[in-house]
Amino acid sequence: MANADALILRMNGSAVHDIASFYDEINRVFMSGEDWQLAHSLDALDDMLYGGYGVLAGHAVATLIWHDIEHARNALGVAATRAWLQAKLDGSGTFNARAITDQLQALDAGDGQTYFQIVMEIFAAHPSITLERR
């Protein structure tokens, strides 16, 4: 039986067209009421899911109902992941170029993780958040 005080969140996968719009949707759902937005960062996403700020503040558990998740899966697939990794290589940041090159090669070989798969792993690492795929 569901807890009447349980936090229920709804995310619209059809609003996700690329990594930037994924974070727009994350911010809409999780950061409403805050005067700042979550950065476009997997580490920031992971940190936010621990709670303490945004809509998760004060809630021990939450359920995220992710509508149109297949649309988001496609939008955050191989092409978006390749562009994200390539931007790291092309940028001026201090990324491990060898590791990123290996990730790109694995992606091209069909063995690499997509951005969507990484996001799913991050959500799975937070058992206090139940993810319902719709």
Please give the helix or strand (H or E) that residue 131 lies within, else none: strand 129-133
pLDDT of the residue at 132 = 97
pLDDT of the residue at 5 = 66
The pLDDT tens digits of the residues spanning 92-110 come to 777 899 999 999 999 999 9
- Give the CB-side neighbour count of residue 121, counting CA atoms within 13 A: 8
87 inside domain: no
CATH code, domain with 48: 3.30.370.10
Of 61, 82, 55, 74, nearest to 13 (Cα)?
A: 74
2 inside domain: no
105 inside domain: no
99 inside domain: no
85 inside domain: no
pLDDT surpassing 70 at residue 18: yes
Say how far apart CA 26 and CA 35 lie, in whole Å: 15
Are the beta carbons of 99 and 31 closer than 8 angstroms?
no
Domain coverage including residue 71 = 7-77+114-133
pLDDT of the residue at 39 = 94
pTM for the complete prediction?
Answer: 0.92
Domain count, the chain: 1
CA 74 to chain centre: 13
Say how far apart CA 106 and CA 100 lie, in whole Å: 10
Are the beta carbons of 63 and 128 closer than 8 angstroms?
no
98 inside domain: no
Give whole-number Cα distances, 15 to 70, 76, 84, 99, in Å: 12, 12, 19, 31
70 inside domain: yes
Pair of tokens at residue 85: 């990794």
Q: What is the mean pLDDT of residues 50-76?
A: 95
Helix ranges, 1-134 (H): 19-30, 42-49, 69-75, 78-90, 97-108, 115-124
